[in-house]
Amino acid sequence: MPLFFEETSWRFWDQSLSAKNRSALESFAADDTLCELVGSGKSEQAVRTWVHDDTVVLGIQDHRLPHIEEGMEVLKAHGFTPIVRNSGGLAVVLDAGVLNISLVLSEKDNAIDIPAGYELMLELVKELFPEADIEAYEIVGSYCPGSYDLSIGGRKFAGISQRRIRRGIAVQVYLCIEGSGSERAEVIREFYEAGLQGEETKFTYPEIKPETMASLSELLGRPITVQEVVLDLHALMGAPAPMPLQPDETEVYGFYLERVVERNRKMLERPLE
């Protein structure tokens, strides 16, 4: 069991099944809610698992593509719903084979710097897959590249991000568990191709090479399911009783949900200048 699970009690909220056919905007609102609750000491630090069907989460820079409408039409043609996230980063794919894990930490008593948050998630993923030689460095050619891309043998299967609100920190990882990592990357490659159409831009968008990405099932050479990993995570935590959102927390959630939905609506209505 990782040291950070041993030192304190954790809240566990599993939405790996219940959120699948709901908007991913609800998950960003849920993490913002947990950030406020955990940061204020109204909740224990939390682990939340979540899965959403066929969604591409765009970043702010993605929305500045010169032909963003055409890019989003490509995503829709592949059966994906595009949304715009309320934090940094670039486009990522969510579907039934991608498990997202959020660690929500508190800075109420002690500051946690950005590298420490990333290292904590890296440690957790290594604990979940102890047989794998997992490395953290930028995988050029992957979608949403960053210094904490997680890879095995040079092929990326996960990326980590952070969001900080009111002394709460949500460290989020997407894990490509099932299916084809390169097929997901091909969708994003086509999105950027349609969104750029060869134009030069101030921001340098990633040149996607689908072969740089794979799922854990592909990399480890055995079938792995999202639900299997959720069960392993729950066991790793010591099998705490699940604690979804409580009635007295729904007002906070409603505030953040309204905010992310409205922001997403405005951004999808008109391109950024």
Q: What is the pLDDT of residue 236?
A: 92
Radius of gyration, alpha carbons of the chain: 18
Share of the chain above pLDDT 90, in %: 85
Global pTM?
0.94
Could you tell me the two tokens for 160? 């980590």
- What's the pLDDT tens digit per position in 167-216? 999 999 999 999 999 999 999 999 999 999 999 999 999 999 999 999 99
What H or E segment, with its residue span, contains residue 50?
Answer: strand 46-50
The answer to whether 264 and 25 are in contact (CB under 8 A) is: yes
Q: Which are the catalytic amino acids? A: 144
Checking if the pLDDT of 7 tops 50, the result is yes
Q: What is the DSSP string of 141-171?
A: TSSS--TTEEEETTEEEEEEEEEEETTEEEE
Indicate the length of the chain as a whole number: 273
Share of the chain above pLDDT 70, in %: 95
The answer to whether 229 and 99 are in contact (CB under 8 A) is: yes
Q: How far is Cα 215 from Cα 185, in angstroms, rounded to an integer? A: 11
Compute the average pLDDT of residues 86-93: 83
- What's the pLDDT tens digit per position in 108-132? 888 889 999 999 999 999 999 999 9
Checking if the pLDDT of 148 tops 80, the result is yes
Q: How far is Cα 120 from Cα 130, in angstroms, rounded to an integer? A: 15
The rounded mean pLDDT for the chain is 93
- What's the pLDDT tens digit per position in 152-169? 999 999 999 999 998 999
Longest dimension (CA), the chain: 52
Q: Which domains does the chain have, with CATH numbers?
A: 3-269 (3.30.930.10)
Q: How far is Cα 173 from Cα 89, in angstroms, rounded to an integer? A: 12
Residue 4 binned pLDDT confidence (cut-offs 50, 70, 90): low
The answer to whether 62 and 132 are in contact (CB under 8 A) is: no
Checking if the pLDDT of 254 tops 50, the result is yes
Nearest to 38 by CA among 171, 127, 161: 171
SS3 content of the chain, % helix, strand, coil (to 5): 40, 20, 40
Residue 198: which residues within 8 A CB-CB, separation 6 or more? none
Q: Where are the alpha helices (DSSP H) in 79-155?
A: 114-128
For the ranges 30-39, 96-105, 121-130, 257-266, which has the lowest average pLDDT? 257-266
The answer to whether 117 and 87 are in contact (CB under 8 A) is: no
Nearest to 177 by CA among 230, 227, 226, 123: 226
Q: How far is Cα 225 from Cα 230, in angstroms, rounded to an integer? A: 9
Give burial (CB, 10 Å; 0-12/13-18/19+) of 48. buried
Checking if the pLDDT of 273 tops 50, the result is no
Amino acid symbol at 16 = S
How far, in whole angstroms, is CA 265 from its chain's centroid?
20
Q: How far is Cα 94 from Cα 65, in angstroms, rounded to an integer? A: 21
Q: What is the pLDDT of residue 166?
A: 87
